[in-house]
Structure 1
C-alpha cells in the first residue's frame, strides 16, 4: 500500500508549479490535522516528498508527528509551469497564453503540457510500485493524474477533477489499480 498526501494551502495568489511558494498559516494547520490522522490511522515506513518548498514543509510537519525519515525527490513535483512558475496571477490578467484555451498538449513556455505530466506520472507509477508502504507528499496535479491513469482516462483540462483538496490523504493500491481518498 502507498499513501499520498497533498501539501497544505500555499500562497494561491501565485502560480505554483515548480516554484518555491510557502505554506500559509492555514496550510500548516491543515497539515498538522492531517498529521494527527496519519499518526493515528496509518502505518508506513518512510516519507518520500516532492522537493519543492510547500511539499518539503508538509513532509517536515508529518515527520515530526510520526518520527519518520524523509527522502526528497523531484519525481513527485507538480506540473512544470515553466516561465509562469511563481508568477503573481494578478500580473497575468492580460496574458493571452495564460487566459487562452490551453489544451492538454499545449506546453507552458519552458514547461510541461498536461500530457507531458500524464506520461511522467505514468512512468512514476512503475517506480513507486517498489516504494511499498510509504507516504508520498506531492501535489494536486500528480494525484489527479494517478486517478486518471488508474481509471483509464485521458486528462481533459481537469474537467473530471477528483477530490484532491489541500492536505488530503489518499490510499493507493497499485496491485488492484485502486485509489481512494481516506482523509
Structure 2
C-alpha cells in the first residue's frame, strides 16, 4: 500500500499583508512556523520507524514548512519546482487588490490566463502531471508532499481521477496548514481518508 500525505504550507506573510502569493517568495509568519512544528510532531507519531520521502515546493513558504516538519522525521526534503504554486505572471509582487482591478482575462475555462505571462490551470496541471506520475509509479510507500493551495487542488483532482476540464465545475481546495491523507491499495484502488484536516496544527 502507498500512503501519501499532502500538506498545504502553513501561514505565510502574504496571508496577512494582502499580497499575492504565486511565485513570490514569502517567509512563514511566527504562527506559521508554530503550525508547521505542530504538524511535524504529529507526523512523527504517524510515521514512527517508517521510511519516508518528503517532497516540497522550492518556494520559501513551502520550503520552510517542510524544514520544520522534517526536523521530526530525520529526512531531508527534496525540493521540486514542479510543486510551485501556479505562476500568475505580472501580478507577482502586487497586492490582491491590484490583481482584482487589473485582471486581463477572467477564468471561464481551464485554458484562460488571468495575465498573459502567467499560467492557466491547464498549464499548471501539465507541469505537475509528470511528477504525479513519477510518485505514483515509485516503490516508495510513505510519501509527504508540501505545496500550495491551487497546486494541491490539481493533485487532488488527479488522484481521484477527474479531468482538468472538470475543475471549472468542481474543486477540492483547502486552507493553509491542511493535511490530506491518501492511499493506493495493493489492488490499485485510490482512497482518500482525510482532506485538509486542520487538527494537525492544534
Bucket of the pairwise TM-score, normalised by the shorter protein: 0.7 to 0.9
TM-score by length of 1: 0.85
TM-score by length of 2: 0.78
Shift of 1:112: 0.7
1:19 alignment partner, one of 2, 19, 24: 24
**Structure 1 match to 2:124:** 117
Alignment RMSD (CA, Å): 2.4
Runs of 4+ aligned residues of structure 1 deviating over 4 Å after TM superposition are 155-159
1:104 alignment partner, one of 106, 110, 116: 110
- Structure 1: distance between partners of 2:118 and 2:100: 20
Report whether the alignment pairs 1:85 with 2:92.
yes
**Structure 1 match to 2:43:** 38
1:6 alignment partner, one of 8, 12, 17: 8
- After superposition, the Cα gap between the structure-2 partners of 1:94 and 1:165, relative to the gap in structure 1 and judged at 3 Å, is closer
- Structure 2: distance between partners of 1:6 and 1:131: 24
- Structure 2: distance between partners of 1:178 and 1:85: 36
C-alpha offsets along residues 105-128 of structure 1, whole Å, 9 cap, x if unaligned?
Answer: 112322210111223233222111
Q: Which runs of 5+ in 1 are unaligned?
A: none
**Structure 1 match to 2:157:** 148
**Structure 2 match to 1:176:** 189
Task: Specify the SS of the correspondent of 2:171.
Answer: coil
CA contact (8 A) 2:27 2:61 kept: yes
